[in-house]
Amino acid sequence: MNKINLIIIGVVFLVIAEISALRAMSKQNKTSSDKALAIIFLIFGLLITVIGIFK
């Protein structure tokens, strides 16, 4: 994959992480699945974006 595709995929992961984090914060019953999903997508999104930038 080229640099631009990796950066776009990373940003999409970061957007999904943001949506999951907002869902986890807005719920009254704090479920750990949304928090875990947000953390996983955040890590993968940052990793893919950094790889795309420095590739």
pLDDT (tens digit per residue) in 12-29: 988 988 888 888 777 666
Confirm if 45 and 52 have CB atoms less than 8 A apart. Answer: no
Higher pLDDT, 1 or 5: 5
Q: What percent of the chain has pLDDT over 90?
A: 0
d(CA 9, CA 11): 5
Number of domains present in the structure of the chain: 1
Q: Domain residues for 16?
A: 3-54
